[in-house]
């Protein structure tokens, strides 16, 4: 006997991160009608926990087994449940670099819950005018603010600026001189994910590698905003670069510029695109910036020079 078919949109919200958060779920029947909406909040949580909670509570809200198409705007959730969780279990709930898996309690619950259903996981870009993704987001934000869902006060966003956004994350282990990077490129309805692992002598090198990889993947000559946690990257590109070039890639003290080879590559792209670098704090970072960091952490122990594209 075939299972009943539903489509489920889930989303989470947290501000500040960590801080008070909310989650939202929209369940749609096969006929395209909203069957049910769910939402909730927690006082001390994170954005990733709210994204996971939304998916978990949505599935738990189905009393009988279903065939579910679950649509999320979180690459952390989609990649975690379809790819990373198998390795975590094999390693006794440790990540690729032998660290305890964050949010293990929710991952274990979600892993058990999906055994009741036939779930197809799909990713959709957030805040891109997808009607039901926007509704799930509105439910999550309203729950976080303590508002009733019908009075969420969350407007539907207008057309996005004609600008490419790059979200960059890195990891680095000084003792092993190894690290990894990941970038998420976002433009209108299009998203691309790149990542790699390598050997290096500093975290600064990996911030540069990530920026270069993101810019080198661009196909259109449009303005770019690059989000990062690196003040070194921002100051180098916006304050120091012109002086370095004028002095033949030396500092004011006459010393060779550190990471000169990487800076020269980045300078070539900066001359081609109008690049604005914005530094975002690790504590209050954007969702995609946090997801880039999670992706980099999972790819940390790949062989040097190896990379993943998607």
Q: Known catalytic residues? A: 11-12, 51, 73, 127, 137
Query: 281 phi and psi, to 5 degrees?
Result: -65, 150
- Residue 173: CB atoms within 10 Å: 13
User: What is d(CA 185, CA 190) in angstroms, rounded to the nearest whole number?
Assistant: 8
In the sheet that holds 164-173, the strands lie side by side as: 275-279, 224-228, 164-173, 178-187, 190-199, 307-309
List alpha helices for the chain, DSSP H. Answer: 47-60, 75-79, 85-90, 104-113, 131-145, 203-216, 231-235, 241-246, 260-272, 287-298
DSSP letters, 50-103, are HHHHHHHHHHHT-SS--EEEEEES-HHHHHIIIIIHHHHHHTTSB-TTSPBPTT
């Amino acid at each position: 006997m075939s299972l009943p078919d539903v489509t489920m949109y889930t989303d989470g919200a947290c501000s500040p991160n960590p801080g008070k958060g909310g989650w939202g779920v929209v369940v749609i029947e096969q006929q395209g009608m909203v069957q049910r909406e769910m939402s909730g909040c927690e006082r001390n949580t994170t954005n990733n926990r709210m994204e996971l909670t939304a998916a978990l509570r949505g599935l738990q809200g189905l009393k009988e087994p279903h065939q579910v198409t679950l649509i999320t705007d979180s690459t952390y959730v989609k990649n975690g449940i379809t790819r990373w969780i198998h390795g975590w279990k094999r390693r006794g709930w440790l990540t690729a670099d032998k660290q305890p898996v964050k949010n293990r309690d929710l991952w274990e619950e979600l892993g058990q819950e999906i055994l009741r259903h036939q779930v197809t996981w799909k990713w959709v870009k957030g805040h891109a005018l997808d009607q039901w993704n926007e509704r799930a987001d509105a439910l999550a934000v309203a729950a976080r603010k303590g508002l009733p869902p019908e009075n969420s006060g969350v407007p539907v966003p207008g057309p996005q600026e004609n600008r490419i956004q790059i979200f960059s994350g890195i990891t680095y282990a000084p003792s092993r001189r190894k690290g990894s990077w990941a970038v998420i490129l976002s433009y209108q309805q299009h998203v691309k994910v790149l990542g790699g692992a390598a050997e290096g002598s500093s975290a600064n090198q990996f911030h540069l590698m990530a920026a270069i990889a993101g810019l080198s993947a661009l196909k259109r000559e449009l303005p770019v905003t690059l989000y990062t946690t690196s003040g070194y990257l921002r100051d180098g590109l916006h304050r120091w670069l012109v002086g370095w070039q004028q002095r033949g890639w030396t500092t004011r003290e006459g010393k060779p510029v550190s990471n000169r080879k990487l800076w020269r590559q980045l300078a070539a792209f900066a001359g081609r695109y109008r690049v604005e670098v914005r530094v975002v704090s690790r504590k209050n970072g954007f969702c995609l910036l946090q997801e880039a960091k999670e992706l980099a952490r999972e790819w940390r122990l790949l062989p040097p020079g190896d990379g993943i594209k998607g």
